Amino acid sequence: MGDFTSAIAAAVRLIVSLDRDLAQIVALSLQVSLSAVLLATIIGLPLGGAIALVPFPGRGAAAALMNALMGLPPVVVGLVLYLLLSRSGPLGVLGLLFTPLAMIIAQCLLVIPIIAALTRQVVLDLHQEYDEQLRSLGTGIWRTILTLLWDGRFRLFTSVLAGFGRAIAEVGTVLIVGGNIDHYTRVMTTTIALETSKGNIPLALGLGIILIALSLGINIAAMAVRNVSHRRYG
Amino acid sequence: MSVTAATVEPAPAGLTAGPAPGDARRPALLPLTVRGLRLEAGGKTLIHDIDFTLQAGPKTIILGPNGAGKSLLLRLCHGLIAQTGGQIDWAGRSPEAARRDQAMVFQRPVLLRRSAAGNIAFALSVKGIARRQRPALVKEALARAGLSALADRSARVLSGGEQQRLALARAAILEPQILLLDEPTSNLDPAATAAVEQLIAAIHAAGTKVIMTTHDLGQARRLADEVLFLHHGRLLEHTAAERFFRQPESSEASAFMQGKLLW
């Protein structure tokens, strides 16, 4: 028990003193995950909206696939991406393996299904209510999707937060395609895994505390958004 | 007035002397000619071979008990659902093609999650009105509906009556030739109903053809110039209002007017 408390104390000291290594790792984590989620949002919102409303052959299958991919095992995504990006792989010439960009792509792939699947649900729900009115006004299909995305903005924001939650907390993919290189591709989760096995508990614990604080913060933000939207728009 | 359905009486000449519909730039949508209209779904016939012709001018009330098929008839005419038989012809145009010169207001107003003003601006934008022209039109629409003070309020938190007035204002500012209303006051209290009916009368007076469904006999008496009486998906009468309320032809309409329950 004494070990645990002294480790926590050391961890808190690291956080409070803004330890350079720790700050760098946190900054890279945020940079990678925020970029990945931004990219996934840009792709996932129209994708989810299109799967919801644009008629095309195989739409049902696409929706089912989206839902299945929400539970995609990160390690497998990492493995596939590793094979694609490795020097002998089809995308090897890009030289992306073991770079932050590779980690962004990896997390993006994990988050797109979450955002697209939830977007599809939001758009379908709103469409039930709005369909006749929008057709009466003469809104075209893309304008309709845009309108529904805008009207679902609060719920969509929550799904983006959920996506961020998955991205920032995920280990397997970034470990494989990032390589956990010190000062270059080391993020919170991979550092925790490494430092724990090395016995450097304070750094691991300090990062763990930050991770938990982040996910708590995300949940509080999601709740706040729900409350605001409920008050303003019923 | 040329009405060909068997149950239909020619309307008195005075009825057609209503305000001129639409403006000259757009081809007129009237008369509306409906022939042999049928709608079947799930093995049931919901609309049975309906025939009627509507002319420009009089406010048309589609009257009947709940489940008579009034809303379906309105949606068919607006092209929101497809018939399984028969024709709907808006002076040569299909319901889908005619829709752009029409507006519809629903029983439960469908308002976007934006401000009252934003809802009207959205409709104007969909209709291709230039951005710089919109603010003035939004203002005018809100003023006509008595909603100027609520312009920036979120539309979804307005009262039921205010929401329906907003939906009407949004429909009217588009200057449709035809305004279709589906039981617009059935969820409203008397005061809100009066305000909505006043707006409808004003829109009619400005030259828009009003076609409205209701199951409320009092409302039909207040608003109707001509009545289409529907029961079980059949058109039982199409008569000038004055005549319909004095002496209905069908026993169902008589029973309905005597306050008997029809189903």
Given a contact cutoff of 8 angstroms between Cβ atoms, the answer to whether B101 and B179 are in contact is no
pLDDT, position B20: 43
In a domain, B201, yes or no: yes
Question: Is the CA virtual torsion A174, A179, A185, A191 positive or negative?
Answer: positive
pLDDT, position B1: 39
pTM for this predicted structure: 0.85
**What would the DSSP string read from start to end of A5-27?**
HHHHHHHHHHHHTT-HHHHHHHH
Tens of pLDDT, residue by residue over A46-105, are 999 999 999 999 999 999 999 999 888 889 999 999 999 998 989 989 999 999 999 999
Given a contact cutoff of 8 angstroms between Cβ atoms, the answer to whether B23 and B176 are in contact is no
Mean pLDDT of B158-165: 94
**Chain B contact set for A232 (CB, 8 A):** 154, 157
Residue among B90, B105, B41 nearest B69 (CA)? B41
Tens of pLDDT, residue by residue over A10-48, are 888 888 888 888 899 999 999 999 999 999 999 999 999
A-B Cβ pairs (cutoff 8 Å, strict): 45
**Chain B contact set for A151 (CB, 8 A):** 112-114
Instruction: Kindly determine whether residue B80 and residue A135, on different chains, have CB atoms separated by under 8 Å.
Output: yes
Q: Is A218 exposed, middle or buried (0-12, 13-18, 19+ CB in 10 A)?
A: middle
Of the residues B75, B102, B110, B164, the best mutation for testing chain A's interface (the one with the most A CB atoms within 10 Å of its CB) is B110
Given a contact cutoff of 8 angstroms between Cβ atoms, the answer to whether B196 and B170 are in contact is no
Question: Is the CA virtual torsion A124, A129, A132, A134 positive or negative?
Answer: negative
Range of the domain at A228: 2-233
In a domain, B113, yes or no: no
What does the radius of gyration of chain B's CA atoms come to, in whole angstroms? 18
Q: Which amino acid is at A66?
A: M
Rounded to the nearest 10 degrees, the angle between the axes of helix A153-169 and helix A188-198 is: 30
pLDDT surpasses 50 at B16? no
Total domains present in chain B: 1
Total domains present in chain A: 1
In a domain, B86, yes or no: yes
pLDDT, position B234: 94
Q: Name the closest residue on chain A to residue B126, using Cα atoms.
A: A139
Alpha-carbon span A116 to A28, nearest angstrom: 25
Q: Name the closest residue on chain B to residue A150, using Cα atoms.
A: B113
pLDDT surpasses 50 at B21? no
B178 to each of A216, B53, B96, B193, how far by Cα in Å?
54, 14, 13, 21
What is the number of alpha carbons within 13 Å of residue A68 lying toward its C-beta? 6
In a domain, B163, yes or no: no
Q: For residue A175, what are its two tokens?
A: 């470990």
Instruction: Kindly determine whether residue A132 and residue B100, on different chains, have CB atoms separated by under 8 Å.
Output: no
Q: Which of B110, B114, B126 sits opposite A138 (nearest CB)?
A: B126
User: What strands lie across the sheet with B32-41, from one edge to the other?
Assistant: B44-54, B32-41, B85-90
Of the residues B113, B129, B152, B153, the best mutation for testing chain A's interface (the one with the most A CB atoms within 10 Å of its CB) is B113
Instruction: Kindly determine whether residue B78 and residue A143, on different chains, have CB atoms separated by under 8 Å.
Output: no
Which of A23-27, A213-217, B122-126 bottoms out in mean pLDDT, i.e. has the lowest?
A213-217
Q: For residue B16, what are its two tokens?
A: 């057609």
Query: What CATH number is given to the structural domain containing B35?
Result: 3.40.50.300
Q: Name the closest residue on chain B to residue A133, using Cα atoms.
A: B110
Q: For residue A166, what are its two tokens?
A: 């998955």
Alpha-carbon span B123 to B138, nearest angstrom: 10
Instruction: Kindly determine whether residue A138 and residue B110, on different chains, have CB atoms separated by under 8 Å.
Output: no
Of the residues A133, A142, A157, A231, the best mutation for testing chain B's interface (the one with the most B CB atoms within 10 Å of its CB) is A133
In a domain, B153, yes or no: no
**Chain B contact set for A136 (CB, 8 A):** 78, 80, 99, 102-104
Alpha-carbon span A147 to A141, nearest angstrom: 10
pLDDT, position B14: 38
CA angle, B57 as apex, B56 and B63 as ends, to 5°?
A: 95
Alpha-carbon span A131 to B110, nearest angstrom: 9
Q: Which amino acid is at B122?
A: F
pLDDT, position A234: 67
Q: Name the closest residue on chain A to residue B174, using Cα atoms.
A: A137
Mean pLDDT of B22-41: 82
Sequence-distant (6+) residues with CB within 8 A of A223 are none
What is the number of alpha carbons within 13 Å of residue A89 lying toward its C-beta? 16
Query: What is the value of ipTM here, to two decimals?
Result: 0.84
Range of the domain at B92: 29-108+176-257
In a domain, B205, yes or no: yes
Instruction: Kindly determine whether residue B75 and residue A132, on different chains, have CB atoms separated by under 8 Å.
Output: yes
Instruction: Kindly determine whether residue A133 and residue B106, on different chains, have CB atoms separated by under 8 Å.
Output: yes
Instruction: Kindly determine whether residue A130 and residue B110, on different chains, have CB atoms separated by under 8 Å.
Output: yes
**Chain B contact set for A143 (CB, 8 A):** 126
**Chain B contact set for A127 (CB, 8 A):** none
pLDDT, position A14: 85
Q: Name the closest residue on chain B to residue A142, using Cα atoms.
A: B126
pLDDT, position B25: 52
